[in-house]
Structure 1
Amino acid sequence: MTTSYDVVAIGNAIVDILAQADDQFITDQGMTKGSMQLIFSPEDADALYAKMGPGQEVSGGSAANTIAGLAALGQPCGFIGQVADDQLGKVFAHDIQSLGVHFATPALDGGDPTARCLILITPDGQRTMNTFLGAAQFLPESAVDAATIEAGAILYLEGYLWNADQSRDAMKRAIGMARAAGRKVALTLSDTFVVEGHRDAFFELIDAGQIDLLFANDSEVKAMMQTDDIASAVTDLSKRLPVLVCTHGAAGAEAHSGDEHARVHAEPVAAVVDTTGAGDLFAAGFLAGQAQGRDLETSLRMGAICAAECISHIGPRPIADLKTLVADKLG
């Protein structure tokens, strides 16, 4: 069966609210700089928002950012994620649909409002995220329709969604549909706290052959393999997967597929402005490369180019012409 989309992603439908802050503000709020913490009530989210400086609203969510990057690279995509029937939900739907992405998940009527991530950006470009998941964690199984899953060559899953029972069940349903249709399944581990909470479940998926491509960073790979030796952790984890991609921040990234191995340096940038979404855009570039039939090294380079563009400005979505940028840099 032919496919209509290169990638269909399932992830948190979130609107990011980004504001500048100094290190003292981060300390005063009891946050760990550069980390992500959950906010469990809309009232607490409103209280933090009231303390923040002037903000910029940008549709976000890890997998949604990846899909936005893929769309900017010219790859046809779909997205499944839950918003509420409120203003932020309308913002999210408009933004992703305006990119040409198929997004038809019905808005939640009643219940929690649309998810938002309050992101504080310090002068060194580090982002400290405070996420209220709201409606995003209540993605029902009914939102995962077979027609959309079967239309995607790759199903891309956001690890953050594994934290909530309802969205986890929806993702399991999607994996079953993708497998039945002969599609590939990719998973991004998202964060070390996700790994720490669901390591065994992720290994069950991996060892059952349900994951074709795993995206992770240094910390996540070490948490999966329970070692501080990143080299051995990558080697051992890669043996259990068809494809493993591990990002190393400023030290670049590597990919393993059987006996094939590739590593690239990070692309240089004039200044790191905001690291929000860097990993998401890296995944977009790599997935685009794979969809175009590129080898591992070229796909890694495409990911590095997209990540560099992302960290050169505020916000998790590309503002430059990614398709032209990648073409120019690849030569």
Structure 2
Amino acid sequence: MAVVGIGHAIIDLFVQAEGELISELGLDPGSMTLIDDSTSREVLAHLSVLKASSGGSAANTLAGVSSLGGATYFVGALGNDQFANNYRDDLEDVGIVFIDNSLDLGASNTGHCIVIVTPDGQRTMLTHLGASIHVLDSVPNIDLGHDAIVCYVEGYLLDSPSGGQNIEAMFSKEIAGVEYAFSLSDRTLVQRRKPQIWELIKGGGISILFGNEDEFLELCDSNDLLGAVEKVGAYVGEGAITLGAKGSFVFSRDQEPIVVPAAQIEVVDTTGAGDLFAAGYLYAREKGYPSYERARMGNICASEVISHFGARPLVELSTLVAKAF
């Protein structure tokens, strides 16, 4: 089995700042805000980059699956700059096969994300999409000859020009052995694209829905998580909701919802927590584990990535998980 991820190819630029900066910039702590190139340059002029690494939500999830031992492919679009070469090399280094789905973009810049980490470990993101926004200019071919494929699609793609239309086209196209997973990605994205997300959900093409508690509640205009799960569960076969320090919450049509406690660990940087949770969940699902164990493996993977700066694991997750399974 393979996991194919489709998402924005983004270089993550990590910076540290006090919480006051988030207020000064008029940002919602923990959110992702889209910015243009000039705004990016202005923000970076006042901050020092601690670390730069290839990122993007779907690519981070694939890095986790690969670290667990799974076969992975990333569909993305890169610019014509040095960051593009770095991005391809980084994917190759962690065992991800890159599939370029972009047209000729000319002298475009590779997308990047300024990740502002505050002392409480919270991350607030400012993203300039650059060339990455063109990943769904055409519907990608995900029929790669594997017996089974989970195609993991990040919700951020709904901000791409043809994102909603071509995601819907993929989800409605039945390919033998292919299941689709979709991530809500960010609460503010859910606010912006709520009607489109519900169209995708009600279309019946999503097998697995990922998100955090705030995203699910926002999606359902609710303060009741169980009520939100019931509403979504009418259309989606299974889902997994991250709850931060409380762990995760999994549901499916054939069993009662389950809360799975989180591993207790000091939080340094929450960047990539949801991405790595999805990696553990998908890998455990591939291996035939029941829902509780899928979420437990997701929690373990997420706990590793929040223990340090950066959205990719620093240790082999296969070794880490082997101690617990």
TM-score by length of structure 2 reads 0.93
Paired residue for 1:18?
A: 14
Output aligned runs, 1:43-58, within 5 Å.
Answer: 43-58=38-53
Do the aligned residues in 2 keep the contact of 1:105 with 1:143 (CA within 8 Å)? Answer: no
Output aligned runs, 1:169-248, within 5 Å.
Answer: 169-177=165-173, 179-248=174-243
Return the alpha-carbon distance in structure 1 between the equivalents of residues 230 and 247 of structure 2: 16
Letter aligned with residue 241 of structure 1: V
Report the count of equivalent residues. 323
Greater shift, 160-169 or 182-191, is seen at 160-169
Do the aligned residues in 1 keep the contact of 2:101 with 2:135 (CA within 8 Å)? Answer: no
Paired residue for 2:153?
A: 157
Letter aligned with residue 21 of structure 1: A
Do the aligned residues in 1 keep the contact of 2:15 with 2:50 (CA within 8 Å)? Answer: yes
- Match for 1:133 among 108, 129, 133? 129
Is 1:325 equivalent to 2:316 in the alignment?
no
Q: Secondary structure at the match of 1:125?
A: coil
| Structure 1 outlier segments of 4+, above 6 Å | none
Classify 1:314/1:97 alpha carbon distance in 2 versus 1 (closer, same or farther; 3 Å). Answer: same
Is 1:308 equivalent to 2:303 in the alignment?
yes
Structure 1 residue 44 displacement after superposition: 1.5
Structure 1 residue 55 displacement after superposition: 2.6
Q: Secondary structure at the match of 2:204?
A: coil
CA RMSD of aligned residues (A): 1.9
| Structure 1 portions without partners, runs of 5+ | none
Classify 1:167/1:201 alpha carbon distance in 2 versus 1 (closer, same or farther; 3 Å). Answer: closer
Return the alpha-carbon distance in structure 2 between the equivalents of residues 24 and 314 of structure 1: 20
Q: Secondary structure at the match of 1:317?
A: coil
Is 1:82 equivalent to 2:74 in the alignment?
no
Q: By percentage of residues, which structure has more helix?
A: 1
Return the alpha-carbon distance in structure 1 between the equivalents of residues 147 and 195 of structure 2: 30
- Match for 2:115 among 111, 114, 119? 119
- Match for 2:141 among 125, 145, 160? 145
Is 1:266 equivalent to 2:262 in the alignment?
yes
Classify 1:204/1:173 alpha carbon distance in 2 versus 1 (closer, same or farther; 3 Å). Answer: closer
Letter aligned with residue 22 of structure 1: E
| Structure 2 portions without partners, runs of 5+ | none
Return the alpha-carbon distance in structure 2 between the equivalents of residues 174 and 228 of structure 1: 32
TM-score by length of structure 1 reads 0.92
Do the aligned residues in 2 keep the contact of 1:150 with 1:183 (CA within 8 Å)? Answer: no
Do the aligned residues in 2 keep the contact of 1:150 with 1:181 (CA within 8 Å)? Answer: no
